[in-house]
Amino acid sequence: MPEQSPGPAVSFAGVTKRYGDGAAVDGVTLDIAGGSFVALVGTSGSGKSTLLKTVNRLVVPDAGRVAIDGRDVADEPPARLRRRIGYVFQNVGLFPHLSVGDNIAMPLVLAGRRDPARVAAMLDLVELPRAFAGRMPAELSGGQRQRVGVARALAAEARLLLMDEPFGALDPVTREALAGAIRRLHADLSLTTIMVTHDMAEALLNATRVLVMQAGRIVADAAPAAMLAGEAGDAADALVAVPRAQAERLTAMTR
């Protein structure tokens, strides 16, 4: 794999989004370095998805600014912006009437490109057989569909990958396999990856930096090792306690 420059940096400056009286995202200021793998963790309703969607403008903030490599996302037409950003979410939303190959090629078509070799290369990248290009989404398992979603997200050479509970609906074995594939892709393509998850274990095992959200704010920000060492504060400790207690119970059962 040739050396590549890292994916873009992403910065948030005072980003706020209100729905009614409440702030889903409340004045978030944050710099994400190019090439990092960041997990956004927090309980349901803490604002993770809303913050993530300000990056590709599925959500427009009421205040503040989001920039990619220093360029305000509001300065670019949304369609063009989204072509540079891969987006994977739970039950990834493949077009059911299009073949797997046509689904993967969709971002290329939208960019005015025809590149059948790219579809095969993307299937290789997400470790699916090339013959799957001719199948329909309904003929795939949930995990295979998520892989197609990742292939589609990266087909047009996006260097920034946004993922919102990408493994949410999958069984634990498939989750683990797909997480491994994502880690490899992140490293091989030097992506910047931001992943929303409610699962602290998943965040700690995959990301290089873990951010905890609570009531629209970032309340903890640390590398996994520091978070596990209890150096990231009470909110992080409370979330880390869950997988830790599970691991301890499993260990105790082997004694």
Ligand X SMILES: Nc1ncnc2c1ncn2[C@@H]1O[C@H](COP(=O)(O)OP(=O)(O)OP(=O)(O)O)[C@@H](O)[C@H]1O
Positions that interact with ligand X (CB under 6 A):
19, 24, 42, 44-50, 198
CB 151 within 8 A of CB 126: yes
10 vs 125, beta carbon nearer ligand X: 10
Name 118's Cβ contacts closer than 8 Å, sequence gap at least 6: 104, 105, 108, 155
4 vs 91, beta carbon nearer ligand X: 91
44 vs 251, beta carbon nearer ligand X: 44
DSSP string spanning 81-133?
Answer: HHHTEEEEESS----TTS-HHHHHHHHHHHTT---HHHHHHHHHHTT--GGGG
Q: Is 26 helix (H, G, I), strand (E, B) or coil?
A: strand
Q: Report, in Å, the least distance between residue 47 CB and ligand X.
A: 4
Q: What residues pair up with 179 in beta bridges, in sequence order?
A: none
- Distance from C-alpha of 28 to C-alpha of 38, rounded to nearest angstrom: 15
Q: Report, in Å, the least distance between residue 148 CB and ligand X.
A: 22
24 vs 119, beta carbon nearer ligand X: 24
Name 177's Cβ contacts closer than 8 Å, sequence gap at least 6: 143
Q: Report, in Å, the least distance between residue 12 CB and ligand X.
A: 14
16 vs 208, beta carbon nearer ligand X: 16
Q: Report, in Å, the least distance between residue 113 CB and ligand X.
A: 33
Q: Report, in Å, the least distance between residue 135 CB and ligand X.
A: 30
